[in-house]
Amino acid sequence: MAKIELVHVYKSYNGKDNVIHDLSVSIEPGEFFVLVGPSGCGKSTILRMIAGLETITSGTLLIGGIEANDLPPSERNLSMVFQNYALYPHLTVEQNIIFGLYKKKISKQEQKERCLEAAEMLGLTDFLKHKPRQLSGGQRQRVALARAIVTHAPICLMDEPLSNLDAKLRAKMRSEIRQLQRRLGITMVYVTHDQVEAMTMADRMMILHEGRPQQIGKPLDIYNHPSNTFVASFIGTPPMNLAEAKVLESLLLFDSGRAIRFHHHLPPSKQQIIVGVRPEHIRLAKEGDDHFIAKVVNVEVLGTETFITFELTKNEHWMARWNGQWNIHVGEKVPLTIDETAFHFFHENGQRLNYSLLSYAAGKGGCQ
């Protein structure tokens, strides 16, 4: 296993504008590390710099403690799985799997043994003599994985390997890849734009936006404590509800005049802030609960859960996420309540305010 370190790394294609800005991160041996962000945020560029397919403009890349900025890809002791699988159509599955072993001066007997071991691990034993065109998308993905496995490289890089698969197969392959990584104990760096993949697969993940790292940490830590409004809105399905509000002692005042009262003072009074609430923390009020009345503007019943979109203000719609099937209709006015400990507070520039209501969980606030 090998550790990967990027220290103050920048990347520019024209010598003027950076597409990667001051990236510093350590990926631990045996870790499943995910780079996640919207298209164009620089995650694939970072992966290609680690692989040696892109040069580093400035900064340092260390692999296993050795500077690797100028090492050719073949000397970095890693494997890579591409988005389009990169299989040779004229070769059989077996030939595709062992293709990368020819230059490693490995005996034909060992090549065959490694191929059979990887094929058995990934359920490809019956397809070794097939050509890629005879395989399904999921089977082709497994061939690409097998080709990475047989190299016995301690690091595996994956660039959106599941994006070409349908939703059901993606879920199955997510589980298979994660189990495979644990079984082999390899360091895996995985690129995706799908935050569900990131949340379900990562030991740790890095959120990227416009070439800049936004937050690095364990999935649940990031979900529960987003560092800014971009992370808050990107991680989570549905995303966190956000709205601007003014603070007046223990009141949150929204544009429409709606107010939410807390049992104690909020962050610095008379300050414009952004407040956030996860959809699962908004619930239908019971008798005796402090609540506010909201008009329902959309209802999505998914079977196991129901999404309720309602008017927070005239210009702001928030969404609630409730377990089960709810008989709520568009246009209906419903009483809603939010536990004040579920609120997140951000500065108007989007950065998280280091302020928590958790210590006041025993108290109750009020809504209007």
Q: Report the alpha-carbon distance of residue 219 to residue 204 in Å, rounded.
A: 6
Provide the β-strand partners of residue 216: 206
Per-residue pLDDT at 365: 43
Choose between 149 and 9: higher pLDDT. Answer: 9
Instruction: Tell me what the mean pLDDT of segment 142-169 comes to.
Output: 88
Last residue of a domain, one of 230, 255, 286: 230
What average pLDDT does this structure show over 86-95?
92
With a cut of 90, say whether residue 366 has pLDDT above it.
no
Q: Please indicate, yes or no, whether residues 58 and 206 belong to a single structural domain of this protein.
A: yes
Q: Are residues 211 and 267 in the same domain?
A: no
For the chain, what is the domain count?
2
Q: Whole-angstrom Cα distance, residue 13 to residue 361?
A: 51
Same domain, 72 and 210: yes
Spatial separation of the C-alpha atoms in residues 337 and 254, rounded to whole Å:
16
Residues 201, 163, 211: CA angle, nearest 5 degrees: 75
Give me the chain's average pLDDT, please: 89
265 and 190 in a common domain: no
Residues 147 and 278 in one domain: no
Of residues 66 and 170, more confidence is placed in 66
Please name which of 40, 75, 27 lies closest in space to residue 190, comparing C-alpha atoms. Answer: 27
pLDDT over threshold 90, residue 198: yes
Look at residues 188, 208, 230 and tell me which one is the last residue of a structural domain: 230
Take residue 14 and report the two structure tokens written for it.
């024209």
Q: Tell me which residue has tokens 């329902």.
A: 296
* pLDDT surpassing 50 at residue 360: no
Residue range 267-317, pLDDT digits in tens: 665 578 899 999 999 999 998 888 889 999 999 999 999 999 999 888 889
Give the model confidence (pLDDT) of 44-74 as tens digits. Answer: 999 999 999 999 999 999 999 999 999 999 8
Q: Is 235 part of any domain?
A: no
Last residue of a domain, one of 230, 261, 286: 230
Residue 265: pLDDT above 50? yes
Give the pLDDT band of residue 41 (cuts 50, 70, 90): very high
Residue 357 has a pLDDT of 54
pTM, entire model: 0.89
> Domain containing 11: what range?
4-230
User: 172 and 29 in one domain?
Assistant: yes
Assess whether pLDDT exceeds 50 at residue 218: yes
Task: Give which of 206, 212, 207, 137 is closest to 173, Cα–Cα.
Answer: 137
Tell me, yes or no, whether 244 and 352 share the same domain.
Answer: yes
In Å, how far are 153, 155, 187, 239, 289 from 184, measured between CA atoms? Answer: 10, 11, 9, 34, 52
Angle between helices 167-184 and 137-149 (to 10 degrees): 20
Answer yes or no: is 343 within a domain.
Answer: yes
The label of the residue with tokens 């230059």 reads 103
